[in-house]
Chains A and B, each alone.
Chain A
Amino acid sequence: MKKKGGKELPAISTASLPDVIFMILFFFMVSTTMREEEVLVKYQLPNATEVQKLEKKNLVSYINIGVPVTHMQARYGTAPQIQLNDSYKTAKDIGDFIAAEREQMDEADRIYMTVSIKADRYTKMGIITDVKQELRRANALKISYASLEAEGY
């Protein structure tokens, strides 16, 4: 009962491969949050061990603080700047910024609004304190000092 020649393995059909890839693709498309703003300051976040995750991304507003990126330094110098949305602002503009951010949220969610302060580790506290005072004035009291999770000391 022997057929002549070895039995050849049939080639595995790769017809479903595109489907699999498309599935992964859709997963990434859905989970991707495109960076909508250009970061105009250089910051290296400080390290901390007791960090907590920020749960709801759409309830978080960001304030970047640091030295302007290289191509902006010609115009703005190397003093630390506060970036709100897409431009450099002063601490005085934070009130308007918070109001605008609040406007975009659902009314029920507004109390959960968190402001994430992404500041460079070599910033001085003076500028941070100004920002904090403005946030207090704008009644945005939940803040997060963005930091990198470190293993410990």
Chain B
Amino acid sequence: MAGGNKRKTPDINASSQADIAFLLLVFFLVATTMNTDKGLLRTLPPMPPEDVKVEDQKVKDRNVLLVFVNAQGNIMAGDKEMDIYGLKDKTKEFILNVNDDENLPEKAPTEIEMPDGTKWTYEVSKGVVSLQTTRDTNYETYIMVQNELTRAFNEVRNEVAMSKFQREFTELNDEEKSVIIDAVPLKISEAEPRKVGRRR
């Protein structure tokens, strides 16, 4: 007390601050879920009002590709049984209808507005892929089929994008993408399941 008139407060040792920060950091690293959600995007058809009796929309047979998946996982496309590997090519053939086959979908010439303001006429296919399942179909098989159908549409879009913009579909900007989407719309109808073999 008689020494210095002021006693210096000792510096707090700050070397453990880093450890504390590390501890917090590790906690957040572990707790963070960087799960980017991914999935197959679809748009469902709106529900028709219940009091209105829906008449079956008349769609010509040639414009529909019926894909049916049964409970055993067998796939039928058109009227032939096929495995999952043939489905994509079958669908592509159906959408493109290169040779204007009478049994494949019609095309409607449609004017699509390009990003630079010009018009581009493209023969848009009228084809609809109708995907049907039973209630006992496995979800995994269903997703595999959905995936193959999406792949077919994506490849067709890629081809159109290549011929129109000389670039792949994924490399286009939003405006160009919407042009291609108008030209090759994703037409997959997910009908209600068939009530086949209902036994009780």
Classify chain A's interface size.
35 or more
A125 touches B142 (CB 8 A): yes
Contact partners of A124 in chain B: CB under 8 A: 135-139
Measured CB to CB, the closest approach of chain A to B22, in angstroms, equals 6
B28 touches A120 (CB 8 A): no
A60 to B37, CA, bound (A): 10
Is A72's CB within 8 Å of the partner chain B? no
Measured CB to CB, the closest approach of chain A to B3, in angstroms, equals 31
A18 touches B21 (CB 8 A): yes
Contact partners of A74 in chain B: CB under 8 A: none
Set B32, B150, B192: member contacting A129, Cβ < 8 A: B192
Name the residue on A nearest B143 (C-beta): A46
Contact partners of B142 in chain A: CB under 8 A: 125, 128
Is A81's CB within 8 Å of the partner chain B? no
Contact partners of A132 in chain B: CB under 8 A: 44, 190
Interface of B is mostly: mixed
A124 to B70, CA, bound (A): 11
A52 touches B47 (CB 8 A): no
A104 to B46, CA, bound (A): 22
A119 touches B139 (CB 8 A): yes
Number of B residues near A (Cβ < 8 Å) is 46
Question: A98-153: which residues lie under 8 A (CB-CB) from chain B?
Answer: 114, 116-117, 119-126, 128-129, 132-133, 135-137, 139, 141-149, 153
Name the residue on A nearest B191 (C-beta): A129
Is A49's CB within 8 Å of the partner chain B? yes
Is B118's CB within 8 Å of the partner chain A? no
Name the residue on A nearest B25 (C-beta): A25
A125 touches B14 (CB 8 A): no
Is B144's CB within 8 Å of the partner chain A? yes
Measured CB to CB, the closest approach of chain B to A67, in angstroms, equals 13
Report if A48-B139 is in contact (Cβ < 8 Å); known contacts: A18-B21, A147-B40. Answer: no
Report if A146-B193 is in contact (Cβ < 8 Å); known contacts: A15-B14, A17-B18. Answer: no
Is B24's CB within 8 Å of the partner chain A? yes
A50 to B40, CA, bound (A): 7
Is A11's CB within 8 Å of the partner chain B? no
Is B116's CB within 8 Å of the partner chain A? no
A122 touches B138 (CB 8 A): yes
Set A24, A28, A144: member contacting B40, Cβ < 8 A: A144
* Stretch among A2-10, A29-37, A85-93 lining the B interface: A29-37
Is B130's CB within 8 Å of the partner chain A? no
Q: Which 7 A-B pairs have the closest CB atoms?
A: A126-B135, A144-B39, A121-B140, A21-B21, A28-B28, A51-B38, A46-B143
Q: List 22 contacting pairs A-B, 8 Å CB cutoff, sorted by A.
A: A18-B18, A18-B21, A21-B18, A21-B25, A24-B25, A25-B21, A25-B28, A47-B143, A48-B40, A48-B143, A53-B38, A123-B139, A128-B142, A132-B44, A136-B46, A141-B44, A143-B43, A144-B40, A147-B38, A148-B38, A149-B38, A153-B85
Q: List the interface of chain A (C-beta within 8 A of B).
A: 14-15, 17-18, 21-22, 24-25, 28-29, 31-35, 46-54, 57, 60, 114, 116-117, 119-126, 128-129, 132-133, 135-137, 139, 141-149, 153
